[in-house]
């Protein structure tokens, strides 16, 4: 397989905007990305016998990305995860965001970064296959203050390795919390099977319990002796139907933020590992972020059909979303998500695939 970075048309949005697709091919890995949502559409890696398979959910055409947004593979912003009642204060000013998740704001609102067309700012294969998407989010978009210029760079930085690097700047004080929202199934998405046998390890001694609206209560709770203890590795499905745990019942499974032991860092450090016993595929995640949202695909409800003509059902995929904590603007005890003019937001995550 030759190393390459190519672009081609992907489709036209309802407003007439043209969307491009980019394919990056590296050693033991290839990824297809689209400008709409700056999203990963497909990601191919080998199993223990060298057979390539696509390990992320996605749609076959642009129309579904535009009309049935489930965040599949998308860049999430301005604020990943939830903000209670879509409100927070900044410098004494009350900011009201669009609420699209019950009474709360989720993933930047209905017109967040996942539902915007990004431009290709750079593309090449020297020294590695990479593409950089950019967009300018104007002051007041979805209620957020300040004009934010954001970029996300996808690069195949080593054999079997995808690095995602986010950056952002603002012209006024604001909040920023970006992540990628890929839905993974390491057995391959061509013939979907539940990920309940996938074995997850998370380097976190604590997680954030949530209320009925999936907003953190403010407690930082130890995972010791709970269904949330993945420190030594366990299958997703071991406790996912544990109705005795009110946190599992509230989220219909796992949809919680873990407090990573590294606590945030300048360079990416180990956060999590997932192993599929059937295919032998292994994914390791290294990140600079202090938190990791673990989501077991609880709200995939068979209402959409993916790339290979199959309905996407509950627990058909998992998400590992490196980020700052949910509702941080309303929780001064959580790591700050404030971005000032003249400063630069940076977040880098590395996904390493082996067998």
Q: Which residues are catalytic?
A: 181, 321
Q: What is the DSSP string of 63-97?
A: HHHHHS---TTEEE-SB-SEEGGGEEEETTEEEEP
For residues 351 and 284, the answer to whether their CB atoms sit within 8 Å is yes
For residues 170 and 147, the answer to whether their CB atoms sit within 8 Å is yes
Alpha-carbon span 262 to 322, nearest angstrom: 12
3-state secondary structure of 53: strand
For residues 296 and 200, the answer to whether their CB atoms sit within 8 Å is no
3-state secondary structure of 15: coil
| Residue 137 phi, psi (nearest 5) | -95, 110
CA angle centred on 19, ends 17 and 20, rounded to 5°: 150
Alpha-carbon span 150 to 79, nearest angstrom: 12
For residues 177 and 78, the answer to whether their CB atoms sit within 8 Å is yes
Give percent helix, percent strand, percent coil of the chain, each to the nearest 5. 10, 45, 50
Could you give the dihedral angle defined by the CA atoms of residues 205, 262, 251 and 225, in that order, rounded to the nearest 10 degrees?
-10
Alpha-carbon span 325 to 293, nearest angstrom: 8
């Amino acid at each position: 397989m030759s190393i390459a970075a190519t672009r081609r048309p992907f489709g036209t949005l309802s407003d007439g905007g043209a969307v491009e697709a980019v394919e990056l091919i590296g050693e033991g890995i290839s990824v297809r990305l689209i400008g709409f949502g700056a999203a990963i559409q497909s990601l191919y890696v080998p199993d223990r016998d060298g057979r390539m398979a696509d390990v992320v959910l996605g749609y076959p055409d642009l129309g579904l990305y535009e009309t049935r947004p489930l965040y599949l593979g998308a860049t999430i912003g301005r604020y990943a995860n939830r903000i209670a009642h879509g409100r927070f204060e900044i410098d004494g000013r009350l900011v009201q965001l669009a609420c699209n998740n019950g009474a709360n704001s989720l993933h930047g609102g209905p017109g967040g970064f996942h539902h915007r067309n990004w431009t290709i700012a750079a593309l090449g294969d020297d020294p590695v296959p990479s593409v950089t998407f950019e967009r300018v989010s104007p002051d007041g978009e979805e209620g957020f203050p300040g004009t934010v210029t954001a970029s996300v760079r996808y690069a195949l930085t080593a054999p079997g390795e995808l690095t995602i690097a986010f950056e952002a700047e603002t012209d006024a004080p604001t909040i920023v919390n970006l992540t990628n929202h890929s839905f993974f199934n390491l057995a391959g998405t061509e013939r979907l099977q539940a990920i309940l046998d996938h074995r997850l390890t998370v380097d976190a001694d604590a997680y954030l319990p949530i209320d009925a609206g999936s907003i953190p209560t403010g407690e930082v709770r130890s995972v010791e002796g709970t269904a949330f203890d993945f420190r030594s590795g366990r299958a997703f499905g071991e406790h996912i139907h544990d109705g005795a745990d009110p946190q599992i019942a509230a989220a219909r499974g796992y949809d919680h933020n873990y407090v990573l032991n590294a606590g945030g860092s300048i360079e990416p450090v180990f956060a999590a590992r997932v192993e599929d016993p059937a295919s032998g595929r292994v994914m390791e995640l290294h990140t600079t972020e202090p938190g990791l949202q673990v989501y077991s695909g609880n709200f995939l409800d068979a209402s959409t059909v993916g790339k290979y003509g199959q309905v996407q059902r509950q627990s058909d995929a998992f998400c590992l979303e490196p980020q700052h904590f949910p509702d941080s603007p309303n929780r001064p005890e959580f790591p700050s998500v404030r971005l000032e003019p003249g400063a630069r937001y940076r977040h880098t995550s590395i996904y390493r695939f082996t067998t």
